[in-house]
Amino acid sequence: MDYRKFFIPAILAVNIGLILADIVMLSLLPQRSHEIVVKRSEILAQKLQAQSSQKLVADLNATKPEQEKISQALPNEDKLIEVIQFLESLKEISQVKSFNFVSDTPVKDTSGFSFLPLNLAFEGSLPLAMAALTRLEKSPYLITIDTTRVESPSGISEGSTIQVALRIYVSEPFAKD
């Protein structure tokens, strides 16, 4: 047997097989590269999402003190006793004639925030009443003054009655079930 006569057709068959394998690989290469790009993009997106969520958690943790201040500034039904005690403490500065909540249930303002309307009346000298209002303004609660009315029939030096309509903003939900 003469192997030389099979040698050239064998080399041609191997070359044709290698060329066909190259063609198949080249035809599959764009699809495979597209899959790799998509997978790499997904991995990168997951890493960015993980970094973003870590940053969000860090940002939320950084705002915890401010959240606590806001939570303390907006009392609920249970903390209303603390507000009343604070209002009672104004008697140390000025003569508090009366204070009363206009409503037991919160009312919404134009922005949708809940508050309890409160009327407060002081008697005595104007400087002491102003000192009490300053303390009220610096209270740990979110309080706004709607109206202030000063009555001084005998003149400011003789004594005055100051009536103040306030809003004490409260948390939502106000009442605990």
- pLDDT averaged over every residue in the chain: 85
For residue 94, the 8-state DSSP code is S
Q: Which of 170, 162, 147 is nearest to 73 (CA)?
A: 170
Q: What is the pTM of this model?
A: 0.62
Q: What's the average model confidence in pLDDT over 155-173? A: 81
Closest by CA to 72, choosing from 82, 63, 87, 85, is 82
Q: For residue range 94-104, list pLDDT tens digits in order.
A: 888 888 888 88
Confidence of residue 42 (pLDDT cuts 50, 70, 90): very high
Mean pLDDT of 50-77: 85
- Helix, strand, or coil here: 162? strand
Instruction: Encode burial over 24-46: b for 16+ CB neighbours within 10 A, e otherwise.
Output: eeeeeeeeeeeeeeeeeeeeeee
Asked if the model's pLDDT at residue 29 lies above 60, the reply is yes
CB atoms within 10 A of CB 143: 20
Residues of the chain with pLDDT > 90: what percent?
15
Residue 24 corresponds to which tokens in the numbers above?
A: 């198949």
Q: Which of 51, 31, 56, 175 is nearest to 104 (CA)?
A: 175
Backbone φ, ψ for residue 6 (5° rounding):
-90, -15
Which helix (DSSP H) or strand (DSSP E) does residue 151 occupy? strand 143-151
